[in-house]
Structure 1
Amino acid sequence: MPSIAARGVAVLLRVVRANATFVDADKARAHIEDRRIRPQPFAPPARLRGVHVALDRRSGWPIYTVTPSGSHSPGSTPGAGPRAGVVYLHGGAWVNEIVTQHWTLIAQIAREADVEVTVPIYPLAPFGTAGEVVEQVTRIALDVHGRLGGVVLAGDSAGGQIALSAALLLQADHGVAPARTILISPALDLSFTNPGIPVVQPNDPWLARPGGIVYADLWRGELPVDDLRVSPLSGDLAAVGPITMFSGTHDILNPDARLLAERAEALGADLTYFEAPQQVHVYPLLPTPEGRAARRTLVEQVTGSLAPRR
């Protein structure tokens, strides 16, 4: 049984009609136009506890680096600074910016796992598309891997799609497997054709297929929907390295998460799957007991993927 707080979140999402731009394709198109005209701010909150935040620009993107307070410059002295790097890709249906909940999780990962977290502020659709963004994220991950000797790719929702697609590209094009890829309620197949989706839909207060298809079609640009830079469910899981995935059963992305877990098991791939009954989309980011427990587990998964200090 979900906690009172989790049930309250689900009720609130229905009351505020959080799914308004997902259940109606026309509203999704109007939302895209609004975001085009009125871009959202992306800077982190003024105070994030226990971390230092720096900003750089590479290839025209703002790229934040979040490190534990008191650390030396990232990667400078073995054993003195963060042990490895995490590249975190935020969700938001490829059209919405990073928000406070993302920054809070990012700070927790940096602080509690003692890692450097790189946060690319990637261009959103229609200004950015899957091919361009996934390839640039792959280059960023390769740089982090080279500097720090290992990289964890992580992301939620749309960011989970980017993270797994980049992990696949990192292996296919560069022969590098991430230390781990961590997926929170990931979008895995942007065709949204899984027959389980209509079964879950009545229980999902947040996402829906009509608007999801509008956002996904804009995001994929000229790439076919089964390209691994768009739908990483089509990729070679056996070569990508260990994966950790979180998914709630009241999320229309859950059927594809289950399918990914089934395919990984059939291939003998290393996938750790945490499925939360009756939890909604991106529940690990929410202020609920289930969310807090998932965040602790996520940090443990990051820490367990790192080489011990020498």
Structure 2
Amino acid sequence: MPSRRHDLLATLVPKIRRSRELDSEPAERARVEAWHRTLDRALPTRVTPGFAKRWDATVTDIGFPCHVLTPRTRRPVRTLYYVHGGAFMAPIDAFHVRYATRLADAIGARVVMPDYPLAPEHTWRDSHDALVDDVARWAGREGGVVLAGDSAGGGLALAVAQSVRDRGLTPASHLVMHAPWVDLTTSTPETHDVDAIDPWLFIGKLQAYAGWWAGTSQDLGRPEVSPALGELAGLPRALVLYGTRDLLFPGCRLLRQRAGEAGWDLTAIEEPDLIHVYGLLPFAPEARRAFAQVVEFLR
């Protein structure tokens, strides 16, 4: 049974984020594009305690900015390559930075966070190859790479892992996905049923954002866009965590099923009645449990 704190956050977070169904796709596109013109794309560190004292932050250019966070008080033994969520149309959030730095501290890693180009102005084609090359480059360094992400970023991390494999590049050692968006075709019929109980995500927005990211309807089913529909054999050992009060959970179940058929070493943790990316919620006991599960998986 979900904790009271989880249920409180399940009510508050959608209100704080002003979550609601879209009125129309053109109006939503115009709203998002106008919002993008106002964005400050600096790394948001305000909820990460002692960030300036504890982390040296630099930016590399891989065709778009990529933040590299190196701990000041310890020598990193590997790299956490964290791909942020946000439906492919929202930038890095302060809680992404908070989570990634906490996890990096726990596993002795530096953090690399790509600030990839956002939809609807951009599609997957504008960042995919650069991300694949960058992950492989970091994977070739001492200690290797843990590839991780949440929501859209979790799906993107999986798509990148598939392309790294297909191109014969150096793979990540592990893959961690929090409620990844892995089927942008919305081919699982249960998705429409879950729409009625998810307080945060909405099917109309999901379909609009999927179309923006794909660019064309023909690309929606490509593995670079919907990696759950791609070849899963030969991927890094992986962990996926998701709740069942989440519009993306039918896609996660599809991924789990296809992983079993492909013989891919994927550990799936399904939590009844928990909301989208519960593992990143602040102060929730379910998030603390998920964090411990991720750390144990990576040891």
Asked if TM exceeds 0.5, the reply is yes
Cα displacement string for residues 150-174 of structure 1 (whole angstroms, at most 9, x for unaligned residues): 2111110110111000000000012
| Local SS of the residue matching 1:295 | helix
Aligned counterparts of 2:23 and 2:255: Cα–Cα separation in 1: 25
Unaligned runs of 5+ in 1: 72-80, 305-310
Aligned counterparts of 1:150 and 1:260: Cα–Cα separation in 2: 25
- By how many angstroms is 1:129 displaced? 1.6
| Local SS of the residue matching 1:182 | strand
Q: Equivalent residue for 2:69?
A: 66
Aligned counterparts of 2:56 and 2:153: Cα–Cα separation in 1: 21
| Local SS of the residue matching 2:172 | coil
Q: Equivalent residue for 2:6?
A: 6
| Local SS of the residue matching 2:90 | coil
Cα displacement string for residues 16-58 of structure 1 (whole angstroms, at most 9, x for unaligned residues): 5743155764553243222232224341315544731321231
What is the aligned counterpart of 1:130 among 124, 132, 147? 124
Unaligned runs of 5+ in 2: none
Pairs within 5 Å for 1:55-204:
55-71=58-74, 81-204=75-198
Residues 233 and 23 of structure 1: is their aligned pair in 2 closer, same or farther, counting only changes over 3 Å?
Answer: farther
| Local SS of the residue matching 1:279 | coil
TM-score, normalisation: structure 1: 0.88
CA contact (8 A) 1:105 1:295 kept: no
CA contact (8 A) 2:136 2:172 kept: no
Aligned counterparts of 1:18 and 1:149: Cα–Cα separation in 2: 41
CA contact (8 A) 1:242 1:269 kept: yes
Pairs within 5 Å for 1:165-244:
165-222=159-216, 224-244=219-239
CA contact (8 A) 2:198 2:275 kept: yes
Aligned counterparts of 2:122 and 2:142: Cα–Cα separation in 1: 28
What is the aligned counterpart of 1:260 among 235, 255, 258? 255
Which of 34-43 and 195-204 deviates more?
34-43
CA contact (8 A) 1:177 1:239 kept: no
Which of 228-237 and 162-171 deviates more?
228-237
Aligned counterparts of 1:127 and 1:233: Cα–Cα separation in 2: 25
| Local SS of the residue matching 2:196 | helix
TM-score, normalisation: structure 2: 0.91
Aligned counterparts of 2:286 and 2:62: Cα–Cα separation in 1: 38
